[in-house]
Amino acid sequence: MTSRALAWRTMTAQPGRAGLAIAGVAVIGALLFDMLLLSHGLLLSYRALLESAGYDVRVVSVDNPIVRMPIPEATAVARAVERLPEVREVAILRRARAAVLAPGRKPADVTLLSVSPRADRLAWRIVAGDDLMVQQHLTDPPPLVINRKLAETLSLSPGSTVRVRLALADASALPAVAFRVAGICENLFDTAADLTASTDADGFERARAGFGDEAEVLLVASRPEFGPTAAVAAIERLRPNLRAYSNEQIVAQINENGFAYFRQISFVLSSITLGFAFLLIATLLTVSVNQQLGQIAALRALGFPRSRIAATLLWESAVLVGVGGVLSIPIGWALASILDRILRDMPGISERVHFFVFEPGAIVVHLGLLAATGVAAAAYPVWIATSLPIAATLRLETIS
């Protein structure tokens, strides 16, 4: 009989103990799995969000990709950037605070967006009605795509007519301009509470009534033969007063600054869960060994080598941790889904951002950590079992 079979028989002889141990490992393992998903989840999610827009470089006016200041003379800058050999496409993203006025409703404060024609297809997903491009030929009134939240707030549907008044700091008395709701969308970067409306460049120009030519950010797609790093360098050479960031750089900055808290929390909680797993397995195996000291001493007296005893205990630990570890993955995934939903309800979080993101590597790390914990947890009971004095133990176990 192999050590593995002996370990299996030891555990199945006490199904209650084995079941409780496996359940304990599964629950603790689920928490560990969630911490691993959390440690990289936001970063992976944010990277996916950036990449889903179809642009790999962002150009802003200050040395920080998160704090946005307007880029002056945006149209001219965009044209100059688009002429660079490293650049395939440039989109201008404009943003302003505005009030949307619907008949019989209180005005709604919204964010009005305008994205260059080729970018709009990636910034949102139409769920009802038409996209801006479809109705470009209908010039009056200009089209508006609104998000679900705004549609619900003002009871709007495709075909509704609204008026929009921009709230620019230097032009507070702008007239309200009529817009026709072309479609309802899900916006990539919206939070659950955001009210957003998007229009084309012409519509934004009308609402702005010619005040300034500022952009929030320029979205740049590099040519594949050059890549984003070369595009970033070329743009900064062209316009030293602007800052260009590749998606990689943005993710790296966020990783260093914004998500450091999540990493630290995840590290601390992972360490604690591993500690619990260690204590659980070590306690169970130690109790088990202490209950079997007589049998172990007898086996040693019968000539079973220390390595055999150690291997049996290691197998016992491996089976407990292995079965519990595998069960912990679906449990952890279910738990992660619930926690993700709760966290995404926080104000200011885009609906497309996820805190817990699955990646195959997480399973490998998860099982590796549990395996190492299982081996470490078995170390003490293995030491007890292999170093016990045979004669003294037999004597004690006989008289006790």
Partner 1 sequence: MTPIVEGRGLTRTFPMASGPVTALRDVSIEIAPGEYVAITGPSGCGKSTLLHLLGCVDAPTEGSLVFEGRDVARLGESARSRIRLTRIGFIFQRFFLLPMLDAWENVELPQAEVGVAPDDRRQRTRELLEYVGLSDRAHHRPSQLSGGEMQRVAIARALANRPALLLADEPTGELDEDTGEQIGELFDRVHADGTAIVVVTHNPLLARRARRHLAMKRGALEMTQS
| Interface contacts to partner 1, rule CB under 8 A | 1, 9-10, 12-13, 294-295, 297-306, 308, 389-391, 394-395, 397-398
- How many Cα atoms sit within 13 Å of 340 on the Cβ side? 23
Residue 222: both structure tokens together: 């590099």
3-state secondary structure at position 382: helix
CB-based contact 365:36 (threshold 8 Å): yes
Minimum separation from the CB atom of position 7 to partner 1 (A):
10
Nearer to partner 1, 196 or 317 (CB): 317
Q: Which residues contact 239 (CB under 8 A, 6 or more apart)?
A: 59, 77, 80, 81
Nearer to partner 1, 215 or 309 (CB): 309
Nearer to partner 1, 18 or 119 (CB): 18
Q: Which residues contact 219 (CB under 8 A, 6 or more apart)?
A: 53, 55, 57, 58, 90, 91, 92, 93, 115, 119
Residue type, 279: L
Nearer to partner 1, 342 or 399 (CB): 399
Q: Which residues contact 85 (CB under 8 A, 6 or more apart)?
A: 223, 226, 234
Minimum separation from the CB atom of position 393 to partner 1 (A):
10
Which helix (DSSP H) or strand (DSSP E) does residue 100 occupy?
strand 87-101
Minimum separation from the CB atom of position 316 to partner 1 (A):
11
Minimum separation from the CB atom of position 287 to partner 1 (A):
16
Running DSSP on this structure, what letter comes out for residue 350? B
Minimum separation from the CB atom of position 12 to partner 1 (A):
7
Minimum separation from the CB atom of position 371 to partner 1 (A):
25
Nearer to partner 1, 1 or 173 (CB): 1
Nearer to partner 1, 16 or 303 (CB): 303
Interatomic CA distance for residues 43 and 316, integer angstroms: 38
Nearer to partner 1, 12 or 161 (CB): 12
Interatomic CA distance for residues 52 and 335, integer angstroms: 26
Nearer to partner 1, 20 or 242 (CB): 20
Minimum separation from the CB atom of position 323 to partner 1 (A):
18
Residue 230: both structure tokens together: 């070369």
Minimum separation from the CB atom of position 260 to partner 1 (A):
50
In DSSP notation, 68-84 reads --PBTTHHHHHHHHHTS
Buried b (16+ CB within 10 A) or exposed e, 315-325: bbbbbbbbbbb
CB-based contact 56:228 (threshold 8 Å): yes
Nearer to partner 1, 346 or 391 (CB): 391
- Token look-up 């009134």 returns 141
Minimum separation from the CB atom of position 292 to partner 1 (A):
9
CB-based contact 119:131 (threshold 8 Å): no
